[in-house]
């Protein structure tokens, strides 16, 4: 079981199952919401995401069509998105908010057509 929280700790949650898919999303909406080159989300059944505290702190934003993005109203941490018409019973949690270790050998990159041009994978400097 994985546990997570927002930056201020008001919102806490647990995942009651192993995520089914994890992806680095490079869409412009995720870039803007996270203020980063991409967002990494783990997908699981909605019934397997349980908010333990601070659910009343969650703020929802309808970013497009049926997609709802949720974040902490206190600190602004991006936590969840859901509402896909193709997967109505599923939700996705921002794995950067996990407090327990998570490893996955198969994280896929999606929406790479809008990948930022300044993201460069550099090798470590050699001394």
pLDDT digits (tens, 9 = 90+) for 44-77: 999 999 999 999 999 999 988 889 999 999 999 9
Query: What are the domain boundaries of the chain?
Result: 2-114
pLDDT value for 124: 60
Contact 81/69 with Cβ under 8 angstroms?
Answer: yes
pLDDT value for 25: 92
User: Residue 72's closest CA among 91, 53, 44?
Assistant: 53
CA distance 96 to 43: 13
**62 phi and psi angles, rounded to 5 deg:** -85, 100
pLDDT value for 68: 93
Across the chain, mean pLDDT equals 91
pLDDT value for 126: 52
Give every residue of the chain whose pLDDT is below 50, as ranges. none
Q: Domain 2-114, what fold? A: 2.170.150
Q: How many helices, marked H, and strands, marked E, lie in the chain?
A: 1, 10
pLDDT value for 36: 92
For the chain, what is the radius of gyration of the CA atoms?
Answer: 15
């Amino acid at each position: 079981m994985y546990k997570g929280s927002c930056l201020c700790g008001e919102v806490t949650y647990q995942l009651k199952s192993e995520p089914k898919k994890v992806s680095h999303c490079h869409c412009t909406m995720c870039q803007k919401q996270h203020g980063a080159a991409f967002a990494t989300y783990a997908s699981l059944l909605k019934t397997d995401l349980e908010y333990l505290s601070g659910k009343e702190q969650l703020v929802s934003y309808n970013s497009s069509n049926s997609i709802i993005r949720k974040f902490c109203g206190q600190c602004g941490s991006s936590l969840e998105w859901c509402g896909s018409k193709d997967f109505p019973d599923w939700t996705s949690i921002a794995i950067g908010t996990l407090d327990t270790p998570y490893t996955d050998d198969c994280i896929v990159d999606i929406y790479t057509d809008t990948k930022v041009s300044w993201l460069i994978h550099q090798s470590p400097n050699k001394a």
